[in-house]
Structure 1
Amino acid sequence: MKSWDFCRSITSVQILVALGLDHGAALEQLLLNTPLDQNSLNNPETVVEASAEMTVIRNLLRELPHLPHLGLRAGERYPLSAYGIWGFALASSPTARKAVELSQTYQELTFVFSGFTVEEQGDHAILVFDNADVPVDVRLFSIEREIHAAMIIIREMIGANMGEEWVRFQHPRPANAGLYEQCFRGKVEFSADRNELLFPRSALDKPRAVGNLATASLLDKQCSELIAKRSARRGLSGKVRDILLRQRPMSMDMEIVADVLCMTSRTLRRKLDAEKTSFRQLADEIRLGLAEEMLAGTRLSVEQIAERLNYADASSFSQAFKRMSGQTPGMLRKQGRRLDS
């Protein structure tokens, strides 16, 4: 399995499609050879396979061959607010060091293809990006996007303490490198040994005015839980999850799922038990994950979220959410508002 082969929310594909549309590409061409359509783009519940996002990138490159450095242009569209729970966790961190640690631990809640590690050398903290297992045809786009997006996030986290960044790319200096100089205010090197983003090490441990240790710890836990829910399940469990995520309306009806799988509900129950899970557990995982993402990343009301997740009313949704997460929808949303303020 490739390091980048994990599911992600629809947000990144929305960003890529918007970039293409802004430059005259057609929606049907941008979504060509993917299972996505306008409805899935508009649905915050949509979960995207990494391969589908990569296909959108290939489509973008094919449709806009005249536009250089599409990765850089895409990267500027990924602020912290695009990342849901992961973004809130970083934004609530009491120091940049804690944020960097969280960012590395929970990379599977991002949209990266070029994974990164963190080092400290002399006066610099260094994010090292490895794109060795990224397919060659999207490798340049990937590293441009990932490093530019990381720079924007770090500047958002550190602010005035950031100074000028120092960026190193493994690929040779392109003929039209002017956009690099516009995107990065500090030194930009090419043909380097590694892909790196360097910034002042001294900025790591300076307290952040908007940081909150208690909130950061809670969101750290939620990030861990969300990754566990998103982790690709094998066998029948994975098929059940796929069917539930595609259901419209989201009924979470075991009989319907069993019928799609051409088996009785009793057989489905027995086979899920053999995989050490249950239909209720799978349904709860999906609903909780989608609820957290909609509460953190959208302006939908609790009533609207309850309706989308097929609860009888907002009260039923709130009770179920508290049972599954230990807090109310309002508590989670208030945390997000404090971080935004």
Structure 2
Amino acid sequence: MHSYYIKTLTNVLKARQADVTPLFNNSGIQQDDLTKELSLTAQQLDTISTNAIKMSHDPQLGLQLGASMDISSQGIFGYAIITSTTIGDALKLMVRYNKALMPSVDVKMLSRAGRVEVLIKAPHLPSSLERFYIELLYAAIMRSGRTLIPKGRTSVHVEFDYDAPYDKTPYQQLFGAKVKFNGARSVLSFDEAGLDLGIATANLVARDIFRRQCDRLLSRGTRTGMVSERVQEVLLQSGTEFPNSGQVAKQLHMSESTLQRRLAAEGHKFQALLDQLRNSLAHEYLTGTQLSINEIAALLGFSDAANFRRAFKRWNNRTPIAVRSSKT
């Protein structure tokens, strides 16, 4: 879940010619873990972020990191956002998933005086870490917004509750000229009417699918590190096309034979894990969407509806139509 964040953070530090080895001090994470799908606890994330601040000697590190976040590279979370119907819909998802990805931070959305405000607080953290997270999340929202919002179509205001830096230029480049410091609170706000703007990449069916997968990922919490769990996460993040065992093994930086052997040691087989995930998603699509059987079959990687029906009946001893009819 946090792999993209850590990889982007290390890239930002490396661009500053920094040795990233101390980044993981006291976190329980090793540099070799970057080759895996990471899901960090709040404490681990806070420790790594604190180490990064100390290494960089730069109070604006969070701003640079957030501005480096590419929505199209954030896997299933990015897909869920760019397929949203409106800017407001996408913003709600950003806030929801940012809160899940940054568990030490309190993120809220409020409507007031014709504007939608995003408030971020973490008063229990050291001020330098709280500032890091605030600037990171606001910058990431702005970076994502530039992908979604046509320039000049909605107004953005930002206010920070700390002193102005010596050089305001990075803030003005990201948020516009009217950045306010020494405010009563830290808040990023948008014109409420502008949030009704449609998104060119909107896709209602895809949005619902990706949101369901995001929610499943977020509900998993911190993984125990078992290979079977890592395989399930790779499959779940794959979008609408499931990789085969060789492709999954490559993503996990091991040979296919090693993957199969380690799964067997945990009492699993790759095909069984894939079938389990397909079956779970099939139930969600059948009971929670109006997708046709043909569309569901295609989304689950079957060559045709007949093959899907046979597999579904083998898994459940019931037909897809029977499951759908039982929910109507």
- How many angstroms apart in 2 are the aligned matches of 1:59 and 1:41? 16
The residue aligned with 1:127 is 118
Q: Could you give the per-residue CA deviations for residues 216-258 of structure 1, whole angstroms, max 9, x where no partner exists? A: 122222222222222x6xxxxxxxx52xx1x4xx2x5xxxxxx
Aligned residue for 2:24? 31
Partner of 2:159: 168
The answer to whether the 8 A contact 2:231-2:248 is kept is: no
Select which of 168, 171, 178 maps to 2:169: 178
Which residue pairs with 1:155 in the alignment? Answer: 146
Q: Distance in 2 between matches of 1:151 and 1:162?
A: 14
1:302 alignment partner in structure 2 = 244
2-side partners of 1:53 and 1:209: how far apart? Answer: 34
Q: Counterpart in 2 of 1:47?
A: 39
Aligned counterparts, 1:28-107, within 5 A: 28-43=21-36, 45-65=37-57, 67-107=58-98
The question of whether the paired residues in 2 share the 8 Å contact of 1:112 and 1:142 is answered with: no
Q: Partners of 1:289 and 1:154 in 2: how far apart?
A: 27
Match of 2:200 in 1: 209
* Pairing partner for 1:288 from 229, 232, 245: 232
Alpha-carbon offset, residue 332 of structure 1? 7.1
Contact 2:98 2:137 in 1 (8 A): no
The 3 A distance-change label for structure 1 pair 306 and 319 is farther
Contact 1:288-1:325 within 8 A present in 2 as well: no
Q: Does 1:331 align with 2:299?
A: yes
Q: TM-score scaled to structure 1, two decimals?
A: 0.70
Q: Secondary structure at the match of 1:48?
A: coil
1:89/1:220 contact within 8 Å kept: yes
Deviation digits for residues 165-210 of structure 1 (CA, Å, limit 9, x no counterpart): 2110111212333322232224100111221112222221222221
- Aligned partner (choices 299, 303, 321) of residue 277 of structure 2: 321
Distance of aligned partners of 1:193 and 1:330 in 2 relative to their CA distance in 1, 3 Å threshold: farther
1:261 is aligned to none
* Deviation per residue, 1:49-101 (Å, 9 max, x gap): 22222222222222222x45111111111122343322211111111222223
Is the Cα–Cα contact under 8 Å of residues 91 and 211 in structure 1 kept in the other structure? yes
Identity %: 21
Q: Determine the structure 1 residue equivalent to 2:8.
A: 15
Distance 1:18 1:113, change over 3 A: farther
Tell me the TM-score normalised to structure 2 length: 0.72
Cα distance in 1 between the residues matched to 2:202 and 2:146: 15
Name the stretch that deviates more: 316-325 or 95-104.
316-325
Secondary structure at the residue paired with 2:220?
Answer: helix
Deviations 1:4-51 (A, max 9, x none): xxxx422211111111111121121222222222321122x2222222
| C-alpha contact (below 8 Å) 2:99/2:105 kept by paired residues | no
Moved more, 138-147 or 103-112: 103-112
In structure 2, do the counterparts of structure 1 residues 133 and 331 end up closer, same or farther at CA, with 3 Å as the change threshold?
A: farther
* Residue 142 (structure 1) aligned to one of 133, 143, 166: 133
SS in 1 for 2:117: strand
Does residue 191 (structure 1) correspond to residue 182 (structure 2)? The answer is: yes
CA contact (8 A) 1:114 1:146 kept: no
Contact (CA 8 Å) 1:116, 1:128: kept in 2 or not? yes
Say if 1:186 and 1:15 are closer, same or farther in 2 by CA, change over 3 A.
same
Which range moves more in the overlay, 104-113 or 117-126? 104-113
3-state SS of paired residue (1:159)? coil
Distance in 2 between residues matched to 1:323 and 1:332, nearest whole Å: 9
Q: Secondary structure at the match of 2:158?
A: strand
Structure 1: which 5+ residue stretches go unaligned? 1-7, 233-240, 253-282, 334-341
The SS at the match of 1:222 is: helix
Q: Is the 8 A contact 2:64 2:136 kept in 1?
A: yes
